[in-house]
Structure 1
């Protein structure tokens, strides 16, 4: 036995929706074809969204990878174009988290809107393949690669647009950025420790072939010497008193003594009384030019006419403090005293001069015309410094712009080898 079933269907928005016995049946809207006008509109919007997503991803990489302190350095000491770019970017990256939230919001909005328009012009399988490929290649990889390489110029070009985006999303991005500030703290830029700065200087010298302005050997030595000066004290740079040329106050300035002073080649000579550790004064060699060696003037009377005393410093005195003391012009030589267990200055260890401090700063020996008879250690150190400069000139890493010691060497005893174009280094 059979029974008849009556089905009543009513079209609604035919041919996409049909109501049969109260049930609504929807037919999927077929994708648009290239012959439909809306196809090109949706395609254009989708391409625009991909470009916006890529731009936001690139700006996120380019702008947020720029350190505030590095930008300040470029603003003050970079090339003219770098100075202009840095000046435009610094106000934007000052609020690190606000910039981050703004760019991520815009990027997320563009990515989430892509399927809405892509579904209109393709089937689901094609939409997934195209969407993943477009987002990965054109929305992430290529923009981030470009912006990581040219982040400064691109960031400066789009700085006005970023300001507009910050304004448009301020209601959402500002609270989120403040939350990040509270949780993670504000970004204050990168500061280097002294050890890191020394390593950075080494890298600039070692990777000279990739660096358009490499540091030569002397620049590296001076910069590193200045960074290490804080940890150096008078005790590490002094000349032991048993190696110091000194005169007794009971002696006379006769021809033999004057010959000894000339052979020593010093501009200042300490004077002791009794034991050599008891330094009572200082003779300036330039003042001896007025003396007659035949007269054999007593050294005691010379000190009485031109009294000069040797200041005392502790062995733990930092070299920077000594340098500041020498700069005042009172004296360019100090007696270095040992620090006893009670923390008080004790016995004499030696003397230290302005030249000793400068040698520690430049990390090379300073040789003058009278240093021909200098000890072997000083000559070996000088030879090592010269060898380093020769190696730097011979290797590609030692090449540099005009200036520095990469120019031909001239001996100090031939002043006619210098002219007004000779580099100071």
Structure 2
């Protein structure tokens, strides 16, 4: 039903009631009211807004001449829209601060401050560290402020709907759906999308705003933060073991990829076993002790660029008798018709050491070096 139709129907109702009941004079007003006080109270209860009827002009003898319905919409309606948008933006700000300031722990911020190559990033981290040290206090402030803003938005929106021509079921649906959609879109999704990409700059630039709200909510948020310190403790330091740190280094695609591999292998040395670094026997480059030393053998060995080559006995690759040092062949004349086994006996440098495949690599390395 439109506003014109609503006013017209109300006017007819009042006109009929005015003719059926005696009028009540109102001294000091512009004439006499044509609706009795009892009838006026009745329509105050029946309709949402009170209806006031003007007096009949003295120049016209008609008993009921015209009806004026006063516009009783909330005079603060424009201000309500401003308040609603302001608290919606504040809710979005708290969500963004939660992600920007709480996404990195103190260890991450200190590493960025000390070792990051970008001076701006180091400055951002240095600005955030002082307020980030009070993690529970800051978290309580953010959550308390976000909750208050969302609650005020719902109340303000409810008052705004009172000024709209809606049926009761339409108003109920509007109150429950629209604020929730606005909060999800403008106070949750958009701030998280933006602050995920620019967490450090936003946290650095908004740190003074965060301090302001920490002071404002101090009576409530500070005791809650102390309670959290007692119950769950202060912020837990995040740590990574060797495997996690090695995986993190593998993910870094940079010019220092080879250095990352070296560092990763050094870190994993403590947990690796002998079988993790040894080559399977079927894949090992080996030669027989019956192999003749000549130019072809030297050229063949130079292709593989090995300095030490295992030597097995006869045709049995499982029977390793020693390790040939390639530099020992440099002084051997090709015309002497010698075999590899003879050279090994001549120099007598081969010392075989057996290891258990499940033995720790660091312990076996220490045994060999000693």
Which bracket does the TM-score occupy, shorter chain normalised? 0.5 to 0.7
Q: Give the SS at the match of 1:44.
A: helix
CA distance in 2, matches of 1:34, 1:94: 53
1:130 deviates by: 3.0
Q: Pick from 239, 248, 257: which aligns with 1:200? A: 248
Q: Please say which structure displays the higher CA radius of gyration.
A: 2
What does residue 223 of structure 1 align with? 263
Provide closer, same or farther for how the CA distance between residues 29 and 57 of structure 1 changes in structure 2, counting only shifts above 3 A.
farther
What does residue 90 of structure 1 align with? 129
What does residue 151 of structure 1 align with? 199
Residues 204, 215 of structure 1: 8 Å contact kept: no
Provide closer, same or farther for how the CA distance between residues 316 and 109 of structure 1 changes in structure 2, counting only shifts above 3 A.
closer
What does residue 118 of structure 1 align with? 157
Q: Pick from 319, 323, 330: which aligns with 1:243? A: 323
Q: Pick from 51, 57, 79: which aligns with 2:89? A: 51
Residues 271, 360 of structure 2: 8 Å contact kept: no
Provide closer, same or farther for how the CA distance between residues 87 and 130 of structure 1 changes in structure 2, counting only shifts above 3 A.
same
Residues 112, 122 of structure 2: 8 Å contact kept: yes
- 1:126-275 alignment to 2 at 5 Å? 126-205=174-253, 214-231=254-271, 242-243=322-323, 259=331
1:186 deviates by: 1.9
- 1:232-381 alignment to 2 at 5 Å? 242-243=322-323, 259=331, 318=362, 336=368, 352=369
Q: Give the SS at the match of 1:66.
A: coil
CA distance in 2, matches of 1:276, 1:141: 69
Provide closer, same or farther for how the CA distance between residues 215 and 68 of structure 1 changes in structure 2, counting only shifts above 3 A.
farther
Bigger share in helix: 2
Residues 270, 361 of structure 2: 8 Å contact kept: no
1:86 deviates by: 0.6
Report which stretch shifted further, 113-122 or 218-227. 113-122
CA distance in 1, matches of 2:255, 2:71: 63
CA RMSD of aligned residues (A): 4.5
Over residues 219-238 of structure 1, what are the superposed CA-to-partner deviations in whole Å (9 max), with x where a residue is unaligned? 2321212212334689979x
Q: Does 1:72 align with 2:110?
A: yes
What does residue 380 of structure 1 align with? none
CA distance in 1, matches of 2:71, 2:78: 9
Provide closer, same or farther for how the CA distance between residues 43 and 258 of structure 1 changes in structure 2, counting only shifts above 3 A.
closer
Taking structure 1 as the reference length, what is the TM-score of the superposition? Answer: 0.48
Provide closer, same or farther for how the CA distance between residues 141 and 259 of structure 1 changes in structure 2, counting only shifts above 3 A.
same
Q: Give the SS at the match of 1:186.
A: coil
What does residue 77 of structure 2 align with? 39
1:244 deviates by: 7.4
1:202 deviates by: 2.0
Provide closer, same or farther for how the CA distance between residues 275 and 80 of structure 1 changes in structure 2, counting only shifts above 3 A.
closer
CA distance in 2, matches of 1:145, 1:34: 43
1:152 deviates by: 1.2
CA distance in 2, matches of 1:276, 1:98: 68
Residues 68, 188 of structure 1: 8 Å contact kept: no
Q: How many residues align?
A: 245
Q: Which runs of 5+ in 1 are unaligned?
A: 1-8, 12-17, 206-213, 246-255, 261-273, 278-314, 323-334, 337-351, 354-425
Residues 269, 361 of structure 2: 8 Å contact kept: no
Provide closer, same or farther for how the CA distance between residues 120 and 258 of structure 1 changes in structure 2, counting only shifts above 3 A.
closer
